[in-house]
Amino acid sequence: MPLRGRFSPTLCSVVLAGAIAGCVPAARADRSTLVIADSWEPRSLDPLVLQGTQVALVNNLLFSYLLDVGNDANPVPEIAREVPTQRNGGISADGKTIRYRLRRDVRFSDGVALTARDVVFTFEAIMDPRNAAASRYGYDLIASVKAPDDASVVVRLKRPFSPIISTFLAPGGNYGILPAHVARGLEPLERSPFAAAPVGSGPYELTRWERGERMTFSVNPRYYGKHPAIERIVWKFVPSPQTIASQLRTGEVDATFGALPGMLPQLRGIADRRVVITPVLGLAQLQFNTTDALLSDVKMRRALGMLFDWRRIVARATQGAFSVNDALRGVFGWSYDPGARFAAYDPRAAQAMLSADGWIVRADGLRHKGNQRLELGVALPADEDTLARVLTQMQADAAAAGIRLVPHLLAKSLYKSFEGPINQGRYQSSLDRFASAPDPDPGWLVGCSNRAPRGFNRSRFCDSGVEAAVADGVQTYDRARRLRDYALVQRRLAADVPFYPIYQDREIDIVPSRLSGFVPSTQDLPLQGVQNWSLR
């Protein structure tokens, strides 16, 4: 395999980009190739269907955004020459028209120029019902996208929507710019040749996909920006976290992003590697299906939130790397309101609430109400080791209160599937973690119109007060007004508990000590700026 950490005569290197194979010292290739281990292989590289961290990995390698995002959560230019604002005339006085001016030196990896027509096509592809886009939140508020010329894009909104700047073909909106000359007419894209061999304008291009094994990305020679110093990036699929740790030790892989905190004891101290832990915009939560017969009662949701010793649970499940403090910051970012406090750990009060509601402990040690036992199904992705550790400790706390938690482990692909039980509402509660957007607009998470499977509101929560505050927050570009709106949302969520925030996510990255130019991303974009990396 390319790029070993330290040469061992028992280890063979394979130069993936050519036909040369054999046992060679790693030092002959270790500045040109970076091998990244990941536990999950995407079913396709259609960027419209990717979710979570894979969006960041694929987009930052293969595609370009109109606007990128900085570590301060503010947008920065990428293909657009500047960030549209009302001050520079890029946003109209009524907030409903956004104008972008594009660079003229950008080409796709096949040599065709990227123009405003590609931006228009990408919007059309996102909205095309034949494409199973992961989300259309924000995009569905766009009345039209026009290209007056090759270097100008005009976006007209149905109504003002301030998050549009960090949403429209930006990291907060999931999608990079697609090549119209390649992808037009291939709908649905997910089942087209494009999904296996995409053409993009990012710093790298896909040169080989060995199913079940790895993808190899080579430098895109037509990339408009800085020529990357690392010629090849190998994305290796290693299902087991223990195997990833082992291969980091042997040098079979160089790096991994989003490592599990439970692996920290094995990852710390690996020679020639450093562990980087960064708070990111993301949340782990106990999510309630508010349409479930048992959990439609806010008193039950509140009692369950108070029942668990989250501070102890999180500390043990994450090897002390994560904290329950200020968990909601993982969704609301710069608009986080520390005064919005969910009910604190108080098992006695929680049990008193359950007893007052008629749930009485009987001889079998479980609470009953009439003929019903108090059992709660908890779904979680089967490969989420941290959440599994959380659930194990939750079971002990629940049993002490006369409640049985019943785990439902789902393959990650089924857990995230639009046809799966979570998005279709066939579950009671779930343990979940997700990446959030740079803009703190929470409509995608708690908006009535975004209830799954039409969006990511998987708790199916709908509240008129929250809806009004969210609507007001997105129609203004005034940050102070938005702060007031989102403070109201956070306090209403704390009162109604459609989910209980467990911890703000933290990105755990293991990278070579000799890797230069790597800047940890607070936006959960581990390969952001990959073109600036080099191996000493």
Instruction: State phi, psi for 355 to the nearest 5 degrees.
Output: -65, -40
The answer to whether the CB of 273 falls within 8 A of the CB of 508 is: no
What mean pLDDT is predicted for residues 177-183? 97
What mean pLDDT is predicted for residues 150-170? 96
pLDDT at 30: 63
Residue 86 neighbours by CB distance under 10 Å: 12
Bridge partner residues of 216 (DSSP): 208, 234
Instruction: Give kind and range of the element (H or E) at residue 378.
Output: strand 375-381
DSSP characters for 424-481? TT--SEEEEEEE--SS---HHHH-GGGBTTSSSBTT----HHHHHHHHHHHT---HHH
Coil vs helix vs strand at 203: coil
Distance CA 505, CA 452 (A): 22
Q: Does domain 280-507 correspond to CATH entry 3.30.70.270?
A: no
Confidence tier at 509 by pLDDT (50, 70, 90): very high
Distance CA 468, CA 497 (A): 18
Residue 355 neighbours by CB distance under 10 Å: 14
Burial letters 321-341, b for 16+ CB under 10 A, else e:
bbbbeebbbbbbbebbbeebe
pLDDT at 406: 98
DSSP characters for 37-61? EES---S---TTT--THHHHHHHHH
Mean pLDDT of the chain: 91
Bridge partner residues of 98 (DSSP): 91, 155
What mean pLDDT is predicted for residues 63-76? 92
Domain boundaries, the chain: 64-191, 280-507
Q: Which residue has the tokens 């938690």?
A: 405
User: In the numeric block, which tokens belong to residue 49?
Assistant: 């269907």
Q: Is the pLDDT of residue 25 over 50?
A: no
Q: Is the pLDDT of residue 15 over 60?
A: no
User: What are the tens digits of pLDDT across the range 311-360?
Assistant: 999 999 999 999 899 999 999 999 999 999 999 999 999 999 999 999 99
Cβ burial of 1 (10 Å; 0-12, 13-18, 19+) is buried
User: What are the tens digits of pLDDT across the range 215-227?
Assistant: 999 999 999 999 9
pLDDT at 52: 66
User: In the numeric block, which tokens belong to residue 92?
Assistant: 């109209």
**Residue 180 neighbours by CB under 8 Å, 6+ apart:** 117, 118, 120, 121, 122
Strands 499-512 and 273-288: antiparallel
The answer to whether the CB of 182 falls within 8 A of the CB of 194 is: yes
Q: Crossing angle, helix 310-317 and helix 385-400, to 10 degrees?
A: 150
- Nearest Cα residue to 507 out of 243, 337, 253, 318: 318
Cβ burial of 231 (10 Å; 0-12, 13-18, 19+) is middle
Q: Is the pLDDT of residue 8 over 80?
A: no
The full length of the chain comes to 536
Strands 97-101 and 142-149: unpaired
List C-alpha distances in Å: 195 to 33, 162, 187, 225, 368.
Answer: 24, 32, 11, 25, 51
- Nearest Cα residue to 38 out of 256, 273, 264: 256
pLDDT at 23: 35
Superfamily of domain 64-191: Dipeptide-binding Protein; Domain 1 (3.90.76.10)
Number of H helices, E strands in the chain: 15, 22
Stated pTM of the model: 0.81
Strands 367-369 and 360-361: antiparallel
What mean pLDDT is predicted for residues 425-433? 96
- Nearest Cα residue to 440 out of 340, 509, 322: 340
Distance CA 94, CA 37 (A): 47
Coarse DSSP helix, strand, coil percentages of the chain, rounded to the nearest 5 percent: 30, 25, 45
Distance CA 180, CA 136 (A): 19
What percent of the chain shows pLDDT beyond 90?
79
User: What are the tens digits of pLDDT across the range 383-418?
Assistant: 888 999 999 999 999 999 999 999 999 998 899 888
pLDDT at 18: 36
The answer to whether the CB of 273 falls within 8 A of the CB of 248 is: yes
Confidence tier at 536 by pLDDT (50, 70, 90): confident
The answer to whether the CB of 175 falls within 8 A of the CB of 183 is: no
Q: Is the pLDDT of residue 202 over 70?
A: yes
